[in-house]
A = this chain, B = another copy of it.
Amino acid sequence: MKSDSNVPPIDPPSLAERIRLEMDSFTPSEKRAAHMLLSHYPFAGLDTVAEFASRAGISAPSVLRFVTRLGFGGFPEFQRHLREELEAQLLSPLAKASPSDRSHGAPALAAFAESVIGNLRATVENIAPAEFDAVVELLSDQRRPVHFTGGRFTGALARYAESHLRIVRSHVDYIEGQPALWRDRMIEIGRKDVIVAFDIRRYQEDVTALCETAAKQGATVVLLTDPWLSPIARVARHVLPAHIVAPSNWDSSAGLLLITEALVAAVTKRLWETAKPRMEAVERLRNEKP
């Protein structure tokens, strides 16, 4: 067997690593098995063949072929290996950041991820706690209708926010950026309303116009933007900036998503008393579908 005879002196030839390397040469169902295993490594491999197979969506024989292909004499032998590896790793306190693992993964993806992570850290540092709290408070006030909006790219984030928050509380909607689509709705917007706008560079005039109109009618505007600040900042009550520069021809919205998810999490917690029954009700309705 190859891996036995010619082992380079590098310590842990983690099975996970080997699987990643050999991923190319796997058949489709072997790939399923590999993904399943890697995504819950190594616990997915610790129960029975049948369980493993069903979770990976393949048949038991395919799982057997998979472990055979990895060089094991059978499933029990494979399991023993996983257990020993896990035990060894767990007992050595320093084994946490296995450096051999860090270097792998899609190189492009890994570099991109590091950059995004840097953005997230920078974003968190530059957000004023009071500002964040104030926005949570604002979105938790159920008497105030909340409207999300965004530009051609950030619109998706606005929808994301809306799809979550609308389950937690009522009076939540999404407004399309194009003026033709919101002009008439502006009649309804007043002092009570809250507009949450997403806008990053190549700032979009129509979104700005929407916010300015709403602000003029007394609405409270919350802006999620980049560090250069969309012009909407002039009419916004609260501004939450996120770092967006990534090694790409496009900007990264991960920081905006982070803020969005954190806001949703905080509001959900804040309103839990009323949110819980709502969420359960939504769940029930969904299950009645057929």
Contact = CB atoms under 8 A, between A and B. Distances in A.
Interface of A: 1, 3-4, 6, 20, 23-24, 28, 31-32, 34-36, 38-41, 43, 46-47, 55-57, 80, 83, 86-87, 90, 101, 104-110, 112-113, 116-117, 120-121, 123-133, 136, 152-153, 155-157, 159-160, 163-164, 205, 227-229, 231, 233-234, 237, 239, 241, 246-250, 252-254, 257-259, 261-262, 264-266, 268-269, 272, 275-276, 279-280, 283, 289
A173 B152 CA distance: 14
A160 B164 contact: no
A39 B229 contact: yes
A110 B90 contact: no
8 contacts: A6-B272, A24-B130, A39-B241, A41-B126, A105-B129, A105-B133, A106-B127, A249-B269
Nearest to A153: B163
Contacts of A159: 155-156, 159
B108 A124 contact: no
A104 B124 CA distance: 9
A234 B57 CA distance: 6
A187 B262 CA distance: 41
